[in-house]
Amino acid sequence: MSASTPSYEARTRKLRDVDPEVFGLIQRETERQEYGLEMIPSENFVSEAVLEAMGSVLTNKYAEGQPGKRYYGGCHVVDDVENLASARCCELFGAEFANMQPHSGVQANQAVFEAFLKPGDTFMGLRLDQGGHLSHGSPVNFSGMHYKVVGYGVREADCLIDPDEVLSLARQHKPKLIIAGASAYARQFDWKVFRQAADEVGAIFLADIAHYAGLVAGGAYPSPVPYADIVTTTTHKTLRGPRSGMIMGRAAHQKAINKAVFPGLQGGPHMHTIAAKAVMFKEALTPDFKRYAQQTVDNARALAAALIKGGLKIVSGGTDSHLMLVDVRPLGVTGKVGEETLDRVGITANKNSIPFDPQPFTICSGVRLGTPALTTRGMGTKEMEQVAAFIVEALQNSGNDAKLKSVTAGVQELSRKFPLYKHRLVS
Ligand SMILES: *Cc1c(COP(=O)(O)O)cnc(C)c1O
């Protein structure tokens, strides 16, 4: 061993001793999560078991290729890990195949574009300003830069997706790919309509359930798996797994998808994250998770009802999922001020355009709220009424420091009743 090689003792020291600066930052973030109310609908809190798999030595392993067909030696163990994750995924969703390798949600979508489209081809997606995702055709994203985008929207009258518009746009533009899925749409997608549109014009139907995946897994939101050619999702939102993505679909498309992910788009898969996904699936296959998914939706409905009672408006009048778009104008604030005010009392959310928003996207008229993270902490509909009261009181008093301080105290008191990672805090 050369003198410059760190000793076994040096390599096995804890983060706290090796790098107090980063350790301290992680402590600060743990505290922020512990003592605030996390209401960003795309966030959740993973279990210790998921964290443990993510922090494992599997991060050391290169495994380019598919299980059994790798470009590196020593892959027999990680082959088992990836096969286990895929098998559990197919069991959970009833999919014919699953690819566990996408690094995140956007990479999963990008692989689908690579598999089925050439640059310049036309596809359809829900408009970003009406609930869609950047990777469904925003001009600043690869999807909008390299392909022709036809955006569908929601009806002005009820803020619901209009099946007739989807069908007529498809007939008119003959897209090669039709995407259903959203980041800020609280209602149920009618997957059959998209299947019909795709069939009429010979398009691939991609359902991107990044937001709804956990609800789908738990039976609390309709599954697109019987209808879609391909289903993509993130694994860190309602599915409550590691920050990552994945792709499922019909067996006929497996080869094209696998090739597009690797070598088309990515290099080595993150085996530690794939192990954490396997753990996530095991958790999601339990009756507990079914209850979690239903409670998340029940909580969202209770929160929406209580916010309406408090004078706020909910886009489309309510929710069928884990999230809602709150029109904050009735309380005299913009989305931007709403987000900042909630932040000050320890409620984390994000400003969001509402459909037909007169404000620019930097200001917005809405705030997007979700219940997945609070439900993971164990909160129920009773707590949602309390949370709604905090939100209404804060928004009504956005300029009143004393009032905001008293709301902050209430937020902290409620958080302390539902411990999260307090065992990870050293002080
Ligand atoms: C969050 C989201 C994604 C992107 O996921 P990342 O993991 O952030 O890349 C893709 N599609 C939809 C609909 C989303 O909501």
What's the whole-model pTM score?
0.97
Residue 39 to residue 411: CA distance in whole angstroms: 12
The reply to whether ligand 1 has any atom less than 6 angstroms from the CB of 104 is yes
DSSP class per residue in 236-253? SSTT--SS-EEEEE-GGG
Strand partners, 161: 154
pLDDT value, residue 5: 86
70-101 pLDDT, tens digit each: 999 999 999 999 999 999 999 999 999 999 99
The reply to whether ligand 1 has any atom less than 6 angstroms from the CB of 321 is no
pLDDT value, residue 3: 64
Low-confidence residues of the chain, pLDDT below 70? Answer: 1-3
- Nearby residues of 289 by Cβ (< 8 Å), 6 or more positions away: 214, 217, 218, 283
- Nearby residues of 403 by Cβ (< 8 Å), 6 or more positions away: 393, 394, 397
The reply to whether ligand 1 has any atom less than 6 angstroms from the CB of 106 is yes
Q: Is 32 noted as a catalytic residue in this protein?
A: no
Q: Is 208 noted as a catalytic residue in this protein?
A: yes
Between the CA of 106 and the centroid of ligand 1 the distance, in Å, is: 6
43, 135, 233, 235, best to mutate for ligand 1 pocket (most atoms within 8 Å of CB)? 135
Q: Is 62 noted as a catalytic residue in this protein?
A: yes
- Nearby residues of 9 by Cβ (< 8 Å), 6 or more positions away: none
42, 107, 128, 133, best to mutate for ligand 1 pocket (most atoms within 8 Å of CB)? 133
Residue 91 to residue 199: CA distance in whole angstroms: 27
Atom number, ligand 1, closest to the C-alpha of residue 106: 9
Q: Which of 82, 195, 212, 234 is catalytic?
A: 234
DSSP class per residue in 290-309? HHHHHHHHHHHHHHHHHHHH
Atom number, ligand 1, closest to the C-alpha of residue 237: 1
Residue 350 to residue 157: CA distance in whole angstroms: 25
Q: Which of 34, 208, 283, 327 is catalytic?
A: 208
Between the CA of 411 and the centroid of ligand 1 the distance, in Å, is: 29
The reply to whether ligand 1 has any atom less than 6 angstroms from the CB of 180 is no
Residue 413 to residue 36: CA distance in whole angstroms: 10
